[in-house]
Structure formats: C-alpha cells, structure tokens
Amino acid sequence: MARQVHLMVVGSANTDMVVSAARIPAPGETILGGEFVMVPGGKGANQAVAAARLGARVTFVGCVGADLFGNATRDNLRKEGLDTAWVVEDPKAASGVALIAVDSSGQNAIVVAPGANMALRPEHVDRAMDASGDLDGLVLQCEIPLDTVDHAVRRAHAASIPVVLNPAPACTLPQGLLSCVSCVTPNESEASVLTGLDTSTSDGAVEAARALLSMGAASAVVTLGKDGAVVATHSGVERIAPYAVEAVDATAAGDCFTAALACAWLNPSDAGVRGAGVEHERLVRAASYASAAAAVSVTRLGAQPSLPTFNEVAAFIEQAR
C-alpha cells in the first residue's frame, strides 16, 4: 500500500462566529442577518483539517489560549486525526476568534482577533520539527508572526523539505523568503500585494505568477475564485479551468485549495519521478485537483464544516466529467 503523505502545517487556529446576510454591511451600517453559527476555523487549522480529510498524515503546530475556545480547538483537531502534540498554550492570551459575515453570493468579510496565534514562536516550530522525523512537506500561511513563518520556511528549505506557502492574509514577505518556497499560492489580491501588479484581469494574474518566479519562488499558483487558477513554473504557465458550482460560502476555499494542492503534489507515490517538464505536469494536475476540492468547499457554510473528504472530492470530479 502507498505511504500516506506526511505534512506539517504551521499556523493559526480560530473559532469562527458566522452570520449570513443578504449583503455585507457598509461602514457604520447595522443590518439584520440570519442565524448565528460558531464553527472551528483559522487558516492554519483549516489547511491541516482539509489535508487530513484528504488522506494526509498531519502534524499541526499552533498556539491557543488557556480558555474554552482553546480546549475546544485542541479537541476538534484531535478528533480530526491530527497530531496535536505541538499545539502550545499561551496562558496570557485569548484564543483566536474570527467574526465573519457571508452574503447571499457566498462572498465574505472577516475580522480576526488573532490572540494566542501571535504567540507562536520559532522555538515551537523547532521543537516540532526536531521530533517529527521525515516530512514530505511544510505548509504555512501568514496568520501567525511573520518571523515564525520566516524561520520555519528557511529551516525546512535547509533540510530539503518542500514548502507550500499560502501568503494569506495579504502581507509583505520578509526579504528573500520566496527563494526558499517550493510553491506559493496567493489569491489574486494577495498576488497583487506581493508583486505590485494589477491582477484584476486574467493576463494580469499570469504576469503576477511569472513575477513570483522572478522573485525567487520555484513555482506559483495564483487562485482566481470562480475564474480558476494560474500555474507557473520555469517550464511554462498554464490556466486551470474552474469548476462551476452554486456558491454558498467562500470561507476557507483558499485554505482547502492549498491543502489539496500540497496533498496531491507532495504525494510520495510520485517521488522518484523527476525532470522539469514532469514537475510542471504534476503541479498542474495537483492544482486541478485542488480546484475541485475548493469547489466542493464553497457549496457549504462555514470553514471546517465545508472541507471535503477524499471520497467526496473523487465523487465530485467523477460527476463533473
């Protein structure tokens, strides 16, 4: 039997407070929405749970507060089958919380109170990496301190562990960091912040994907929501066609995309297949798989409740043929 891909996800864990409404309120406005739901979220935990549901063995490194939300977060991650030995607790900070409004087209507006997520330090990553044996990849986002992201990426790169970096929320990355990244996965607005280019058109997104390679990334996948994605490697650029679905909530779609891409791309059953053209094809296939997984996620409300299993994605791809 093929060995499971082993990923370490370093990142945030939040409790999401979600309200659906006809539209996102304007500044200063109060509107009435629908029911309130509270679900597990946080970009890091979402990616970790998505990868586990898609069949990966996942070690999660994060930080929660010594409160009810922190305990619930840890219990939930354990229930999802993750290794939570490296989820640390900050006794002085509250656990991360996100306030989310979702409109009738599935678009959202999110405010995060990161709390304990900002207490995740490089030494926490070091302890986890020292103890975790062989890893097939490291997956990160930017909802934790950037110096921790920087440290984890550089350490993995030095150990020849492939790094998938989802630069969300949009930020300016530390100088030279992209040179240590195997694949960077921004959405169009994050790609615009990183490159300074206008990504509002498909050609602009292609240009930004190429620019990310010039900035040092070994490959880039720019996600474009309902317009698909653009994959760029030094062997070429390819557009990934979108899957058309009825959108309910786009929350965590990007997290699901990055996790699914990492699971498919870093799968050890493909190890040993080498060569630039082959690597390009493998990334294109992984991005297409990730696009299907993300499409399933947008048909459901909430971050982690929306993340599909391996079998659900397989069935979705089969019926979309």
Query: What amino acid positions are annotated as catalytic residues?
Result: 255
Q: What's the CA angle centered on 146, arms 141 and 152, to 5 degrees?
A: 70
CA R_g for the chain = 18
Tell me whether residue 80 or residue 143 sits nearer to ligand RIB (CB atom).
143
Q: What's the CA angle centered on 186, arms 178 and 133, to 5 degrees?
A: 60
**How many other C-beta atoms lie within 10 A of the C-beta of residue 159?**
11
What is the C-alpha separation between 267 and 273, in angstroms, rounded?
11
Least distance between ligand RIB and beta carbon 214 (Å):
27
Tell me whether residue 191 or residue 206 sits nearer to ligand RIB (CB atom).
191
Residues 6+ apart with CB under 8 A from 61: 8, 9, 10, 11, 86, 87, 120, 124, 125, 128
Q: Please report which helix (H) or strand (E) contains residue 220, including its range.
A: strand 220-223
Residues 6+ apart with CB under 8 A from 269: 2, 3
Least distance between ligand RIB and beta carbon 207 (Å):
25
Q: Which residues of 107-119 are buried (b: 16+ CB within 10 A; e: fewer)?
A: ebebebebbbbbb
Tell me whether residue 12 or residue 199 sits nearer to ligand RIB (CB atom).
12
Tell me whether residue 233 or residue 258 sits nearer to ligand RIB (CB atom).
258
What is the C-alpha separation between 42 and 169, in angstroms, rounded?
11
Q: Where are the alpha helices (DSSP H) in 54-200?
A: 68-79, 122-131, 146-158, 188-195
Closest-approach residue to ligand RIB (CB): 41
- Cβ atoms of 9 and 60 within 8 Å: the answer is yes
Binding site for ligand RIB (CB under 6 A): 12, 14, 16, 41-43, 46, 98, 110, 112, 143, 251-252, 254-255, 303
Half-sphere exposure of 160 (CA within 13 A, CB side): 1
CA distances 55 to 58, 80, 263, 308, 310, Å, are 9, 11, 8, 11, 6
Least distance between ligand RIB and beta carbon 184 (Å):
16
Least distance between ligand RIB and beta carbon 304 (Å):
8
Least distance between ligand RIB and beta carbon 290 (Å):
15
Tell me whether residue 180 or residue 256 sits nearer to ligand RIB (CB atom).
256
Least distance between ligand RIB and beta carbon 98 (Å):
3
Least distance between ligand RIB and beta carbon 162 (Å):
22
Tell me whether residue 181 or residue 252 sits nearer to ligand RIB (CB atom).
252
Strands lying side by side in the sheet with 96-102: 36-41, 14-20, 96-102, 108-113
Tell me whether residue 218 or residue 256 sits nearer to ligand RIB (CB atom).
256
What is the C-alpha separation between 308 and 320, in angstroms, rounded?
16
